[in-house]
Amino acid sequence: MYHDVVPRAERDRAGFPGPVAGAYKLEPAAFSAHLDAIARAGVELGLFGEREQATLTFDDGGASAVRIAQELELRGVRGMFFVVTGRIGTPGFLDADGVRELAARGHEVGSHSHTHPPYMGRLGAAELAEEWTRSRELLAELLGSPPMSAAAPGGSVSDELIKQVAQAGYAQLFTSTPRALQVGHSGIDLIGRYTIWAKDPPELAAALAAGARGPRARRLLAWQLKSAAKRISPSVYEAARSAWAGRPSAARNDASRSI
């Protein structure tokens, strides 16, 4: 799971602004290095459900999505782009033509909810239904047919969220749970993903894509600790997350190696 690919000086001009969102955004040279490393590892990339070994997904629908698509196409690869429909045409995000262009170029466009609410798994049934139904309707209007794939924002997933995604008509829900296992729930498929951070080295991206057990296990452990912190105190977690995002990169790298 990637987000925007944008020069550091332009981070707030693509996707959601701020240091927390910026921690997920790769610079173009870094993204190219990730793709090179994945290719060297012999990993076949493609859309989910094809005969691929790994799929690259991109969340939010930030303004850099078309640039990302072009970089993928140079390597004969197509990606999955999950769009926050309430942000279409707003500063930092794709406009309607950009969303249509992604689909026309052979990439898959799915929903990342309508408004990208924080802690979406805590919303009630009516709010969740509005998020997923409204987003699917808007994408159907733009693309001519409704999307079948959705991605839950913020990593917060509940049984009710999954139920509402299914009732809205989607067939697949991509989550932030770092597990490759695909499972069925409420009549749809749940697919885990491995989050890529701005400071992750190319070799790590390649190892995750290739299915290396050690890196995948460490990502799962870190995710489980983060999820526990969210459940105990969301406010404390968010404060810690903001502080982490603002730390110097060297400090973050040292801490990451100690996990």
* pLDDT tens for each residue of 171-199: 999 999 998 777 888 889 999 999 999 99
Closest CA to 87 of 23, 8, 4, 145: 4
- Of 68-72, 194-198, 248-252, the range with the lowest mean pLDDT is 248-252
- Of residues 40 and 258, the one with the higher pLDDT is 40
What phi and psi, each to the nearest 5 degrees, are found at residue 109? -115, 125
Q: Which two tokens stand for residue 62?
A: 């930030």
Can you tell me the distance from the alpha carbon of 242 to that of 118, in angstroms, rounded to the nearest whole number?
A: 14
**Cα 117 from Cα 131, distance rounded (Å):** 9
pLDDT band of residue 120 (cuts 50, 70, 90) is very high
User: What is the reported pLDDT for 105?
Assistant: 97
Q: Write down all domains in the chain, each with its CATH number in brackets.
A: 8-211 (3.20.20.370)
pTM as predicted: 0.88
- The tens digit of pLDDT for each residue in 137-181 reads 999 999 999 999 999 998 779 999 999 999 999 999 999 999 877
Cα dihedral value 192, 13, 238, 229, nearest 10: 20
d(CA 216, CA 231): 23
